[in-house]
Structure 1
């Protein structure tokens, strides 16, 4: 625990993200918390992203545009430049929810014991037409046991203490989608995270790699790979249940088509007392 205001590095990976990147940048630069830096790693965009970065370059502590090997390679490049005591990651489609996110998080970060190296709040998902989901993210006490089975804390906007990377290393670049889960599994299979209540950290636009139903089976393969790397060789009942559910949803998509599948899935959610999700994505 420290009384000093912690420094925070925000690392953004982008590739051909001109349409959304400015909102992401603005959400960082308008933060009321002063002890921060913004690092942008572009994968060699050809859509006008580089020109946008050049226009905003005075807002960055570091930026580069060159070919990379995916988002985890980009984040690792950012890690090599980061100077903050705490580090968080955003994609070009993500943005901080309001201007006081880092200020509110920092109040809690400086109070955490040194053994806690992961801290997170809640996120929301936003559809193309601006509709916002219910906040997502539960307390660590609720999800601690489940975390070894699947990714159940939101990674965007999550704060990683620098010492996490000093002990465990950077992201494993052989992963394409679930590298954040594998990284956190190194720490949280035996350690603890801190949930910061009443803070929505970030918004995630629907449609990215991790929110696509078609990509979920790729995610499951990588989750199982990460678990095998960390000594768990058989999938849990909960993970098998999730895989079965998503398989049935994908089959429904193929049989009745996109629009009808979304309506039917949200009808089932209403019967369970849940807000609509699929018709908003």
Structure 2
């Protein structure tokens, strides 16, 4: 394990938990990066496989540090920061890869240039997302999610894109939330939006679709929508109580929607009717505020007809119709009727979700 003289410019922090199948490829991929001095900090959350021994025996051209930490991606990221020596931090998942050997150098250079140009030091970056290991299924759906991840909007930026930022900014916005075992990336991304600015970096990051394949793409996305809705309306009781909302990767399997459905009904049953109504109304507002995604679906469908590699480069439907759609969605009677619909039928769909076709 090499230890280059001098401090690294960048610290790459990767949490692991039973990642023996992905770690060797990650080390090889990062070893191909050129143009920047970086270190890799692997923070293990108690792996029961050979992850730790693989990291300990790895021979790399970059400085590699292995740290032990309690499990939980947010907790592991925070532990990695305490060992980091670089001015720049990259929070990366173990199944992430870069096809461009200058991706890290270009990412840091782009953020430095944009910070100087905009005179705004509170800038964080993430890479353009691509999915791998999809099994060739639902290419249009994955193209939509890849296009959505390139939108500079709240709710569109996730940890599988890699979070790149200066240590100074992390000190101001961090640490990652650890009161839940998941959603640390969503909550950190929101803090960046509140106090700074996100930029899309000029390189792609590839992440494995293994979770979607194991759990079922549409079941996973249905559950993700429920999770993000609960986060948006502040329903943390559900996020803490519902079983199986987000399992660690090595425990991922076909999602059974009946368990979260029971949690929804159990928690609603214990609330006064006024609180139930407020929850439904806030959920309706969340749904309407995200209605712009319907226009992005149209743009992706039209774009894929022209170019199979289309990933949201041009969005004429979204550009033309988002403002009129937003005015309609802010119509208070519309929010009222949608809230009634959510209260009477939305959660029934969740209950019967387990009967959806297995895809």
Q: Which has the larger radius of gyration?
A: 2
Q: Is 1:163 matched with 2:163?
A: no
Residue 120 to residue 92, structure 1, CA distance change in 2 (3 Å): closer
The residue number in structure 1 matching 2:329 is: none
Q: What's the TM-score, normalizing by structure 2?
A: 0.57
In 2, Cα distance between the equivalents of 1:253 and 1:226? Answer: 21
Instruction: Give a deviation string over 1:226-271, Cα, whole Å, max 9, x none.
Output: 99xxxxx974756335697x97986675224313xxxxxxxxxxxx
Q: How does 1:216-227 map to 2 (within 5 A)?
A: 216=224, 217-225=226-234
Residue 188 to residue 123, structure 1, CA distance change in 2 (3 Å): same
The residue number in structure 2 matching 1:274 is: none
> Is contact 2:128–2:150 with CA below 8 Å preserved after alignment?
yes
Shift of 1:37: 1.3
Segments of structure 1 that go 5 or more residues without pairing to the other structure are 1-5, 228-232, 260-281
Q: How does 1:45-60 map to 2 (within 5 A)?
A: 45-56=47-58, 58=60, 59-60=62-63
The residue number in structure 2 matching 1:205 is: 209
Q: Which protein has the bigger helix share?
A: 2
Q: Is 1:127 matched with 2:129?
A: no
- Answer 1 or 2: higher relative contact order, Cα 8 Å, separation at least 6: 1
The residue number in structure 2 matching 1:266 is: none
Instruction: Give a deviation string over 1:156-212, Cα, whole Å, max 9, x none.
Output: 323122112221231110122211121222231242222234x21342434079x73
Residue 37 to residue 97, structure 1, CA distance change in 2 (3 Å): same
Segments of structure 2 that go 5 or more residues without pairing to the other structure are 1-7, 237-278, 292-341
The residue number in structure 1 matching 2:73 is: 71
> Is contact 2:96–2:205 with CA below 8 Å preserved after alignment?
no
The residue number in structure 2 matching 1:22 is: 24
Q: Is 1:196 matched with 2:179?
A: no
Aligned-pair Cα RMSD in Å: 3.4
Shift of 1:8: 1.8
The residue number in structure 2 matching 1:240 is: 287
In 2, Cα distance between the equivalents of 1:182 and 1:256? Answer: 30
> How many residues matched?
238
> Is contact 2:232–2:286 with CA below 8 Å preserved after alignment?
no
The residue number in structure 1 matching 2:354 is: 254
